[in-house]
Each structure stands twice: as structure tokens, then as C-alpha cells.
Amino acid sequence: MSIYSRIAGTGSYLPEKVLSNHDLEKMVETSDQWIQERTGIKKRHIAEAGQTTCDLAEQAAARALKAAGKTAQEIDLIVVATTTPDKIFPSTACLLQQRLGNHGCAAFDIQAVCTGFVYAMGVADKFIKTGAARTALVVGAETLSRILDWNDRGTCILFGDGAGAVVLEAADKPGILSTHLHADGAYEELLHVPGGISRGFDMEADGADPHFMQMKGNEVFKMAVNTLGRIVDETLAANGMKKSDIDWLVPHQANIRIIKATARKLSMDMDNVVVTIGEHGNTSAASVPLALDTAVKDGRIKRGETLLLEAFGGGFTWGSVLLNY
């Protein structure tokens, strides 16, 4: 008998501190109107001093476990997608495992920036389908505020902190139908943090601080729209499905214009697209599970419906998950 993986429960968490567009008007040369028109973002949540990625992940994980009716001891795989880990090592997944009181199961991080959660779902799905795990905790968690230059209006208006999680369990009927993961490192410098452990943190020739994110926004926007269009075609073709077979699009929350372009590709009404970017901005690996949990909790997404999750991020990385919820 074939083994499949299905979502047993979802959870999410946002830090209490809120930074609105009006707050940003006092920090950099921008305006609430400009930010909303260009991005769709109204506010973002920012981790408090001392509040770590693992802190956010723990809250989201606990809520997902509760929704799934599972204990931490039942988890036999933990995958955390993050680009802002608490420490160089151990992994944030190991730190989360300790917090949850789980001992012995495999636990590791995945780094694919904004596509991280989609990558993590793809990996966990393979573990369950091969019988290597039966119950997986998959988390996307970020404290991107730690790598933002708050004087750079091109990036600081876009990003926020948060965490989302799902519990996947083995099932005899398909939950996840397919996952599609891609990357192309040729576009490294369009969206990156220049510094690193092995290359060091020397100042860039142009005086830019290598600790902070750098982005060429227009180029990233164009690549994202084109690439996400292709991943939609690839996912539908792989499953022999039509656009009309998709009930919900749960996209990475990067920019409302990118989300609308992907919806047009699917010939999908925006009423069937989960949009949460206005409330928390771009939370990188946390954005897809945050959006998913929001729509599950408010009753929009119901059991038996077909969902397309997709994301695009630095690397460049991109991918999708097609599933029956």
C-alpha cells in the first residue's frame, strides 16, 4: 500500500510589536500610500530585543501540534526553514526540539530563504512517503528584522518577523500530491546578504554593510513574476490538472502585484487567493505557513479542497506544493 503525507494541523505566531507604515514614515523617506500602492503592506510585526527565531517557532509549533491533536513525543522528524537562525550551530530545529521536550528524532534546518517552507514540505513529504518518518513537524520561522538596514527604504519597508508550522502525518490517501523545487545561483547578487561565516564581514567597496540584506527590487520583481508563472504550469502539468481544479492559491507574501500576477496565470479570482501581506509584510520562510494557518483558522480553507502553495526567494530559489487539504 502506498504511503502519503497529509496536513494534520497548522499553527502560526506573530510577535506582539507592530511597526506600521506611519511608523516608517518617521524613520525613512517613504509614505503609507506609496508602500501600500507598491507592495500592499500596511504593517509588519517585529521581534522584541532578545526574542529569537526559535522563540517564534516554538509558539507556532505548539499551536500546530494542538490543532493536530499530537504530542511532541509523537514527532519523529523536525524540519525548520529559516535564514535567520538563533546560532551558527546547533540548528534552530535542534533548539526547537529541546524546547518541545522531544529526544532522538532527526532535526535539521533548511535554508532556501523565502522558498524555505516549500522546500521543507518537499523534504518532509519524501521522508513520510519512504517510511522514514510518520509524523513530521515542519516550521518556517524568521527574524528578518535582524538583517535589515533600517536606513534602506528599499528593503526595510518590506519585511517582518513571524513563524508558521504544520504537522504532517502518514496517510493512506494523498494529501500532498506533488512538490516542485528549483534553484539558480546565477542570480545570487540580486537578493543577498553579502557577509558570511567563511568570507567574513568586511565592508563592501561601495560602503555597504555586509551584515544587511541587499536587493535590486525591479530585477527581483520581474524574475519572480515570470518564474512563478512557470511553476504554476509545471505543477498543473505534472498532475494532469486544469487551472479550475485549484480551490485556493496560498502564495508567498512578498508583493501584492506578484500575487495578483500569479492569480491571473491561474485565471483565479482574488477571492480564492489567501492574502495576508497587508498584516505582516514579507516574513520569508514564515509567510506561506502564516497565510495557510490564517485561512484554515478563519474557515476559508476546508478539508477536501485543493491548494497550491508557491514561493520565490533569494538564491534564486522557487517551488510549489500541490495538496488536498
Task: Supply the CATH number for residue 169's domain.
Answer: 3.40.47.10
Q: State the Cα–Cα distance between residues 243 and 236, nearest whole angstrom.
A: 7
Q: Is 114 a catalytic residue?
A: yes
Question: What pLDDT, on a 0 to 100 scale, did the predictor assign at position 204?
Answer: 73
Same domain, 257 and 194: yes
Whether residue 184 sits in one domain with residue 104 = no
Residues 138 and 20 in one domain: yes
Q: Do 37 and 144 lie in a common domain?
A: yes
In this prediction, residue 192 has a pLDDT band, given cuts at 50, 70 and 90, of: very high
Same domain, 90 and 149: yes
User: In the chain, pLDDT over 90 holds for what percent of residues?
Assistant: 97
Question: What's the structural domain count of the chain?
Answer: 2
Whether residues 220 and 289 share a domain: the answer is: yes
d(CA 134, CA 137): 10
Q: Which domain holds residue 117?
A: 4-173
Burial status of residue 131 (CB atoms within 10 A of its CB: 0-12, 13-18, 19 or more): exposed
Amino acid at 71: T
Annotation says 252 is catalytic: yes
Q: What is the pLDDT of residues 254-276, one digit of tens each?
A: 999 999 999 999 999 999 999 99
> Which of 140, 158, 173 is the last residue before a domain boundary?
173
Q: Which of 115, 150, 173 is the last residue of a domain?
A: 173
Res. 202 pLDDT band, cuts 50 70 90: confident
Give yes or no: 239 in active site. Answer: no
Alpha-carbon dihedral sign for residues 249, 251, 256, 261: negative
Residue where a domain stops, chosen among 173, 189, 222: 173
Examine the domain organization and report whether 188 and 162 are in the same domain: no
Answer yes or no: do 108 and 205 share one domain. Answer: no
Tell me the pLDDT band of 295, cut-offs 50, 70 and 90. very high
Which tens digit of pLDDT belongs to each residue from 89-143?
999 999 999 999 999 999 999 999 999 999 999 999 999 999 999 999 999 999 9
- 221 and 149 inside one domain: no
pLDDT of 205 over the 70 cut: no
Please list, in sequence order, all residues whose beta carbon lies within 8 angstroms of the beta carbon of residue 32, skipping any fewer than 6 positions away: 20, 21, 22, 25, 42
Q: Which residues contact 234 (CB under 8 A, 6 or more apart)?
A: 180, 320
Of the listed 21, 255, 282, 324, which one is catalytic?
Answer: 282
290 and 144 within one domain: no
DSSP string, 36-101: HHHH---EEE-PPTT--HHHHHHHHHHHHHHHHT--GGG--EEEEE-SS-SSSSS-HHHHHHHHHT
Q: Which position among 94, 105, 114, 156 bears the catalytic label?
A: 114
d(CA 51, CA 60): 14
Catalytic site residue from 252, 255, 280, 324: 252
> Who contacts 284 (Cβ-Cβ below 8 Å, separation ≥6)?
83, 84, 113, 114, 116, 140, 142, 144, 159, 313
In a shared domain, residues 37 and 156: yes
Nearest by Cα to 140 from 247, 257, 292, 259: 292
State whether 58 and 76 are in the same domain. yes
| pLDDT tens figures, 20-50 | 999 999 999 999 999 999 999 999 999 999 9
Give the separation between CA 312 and CA 224, rounded to whole angstroms: 6
**Which residues are registered as beta bridge partners of 324?**
306
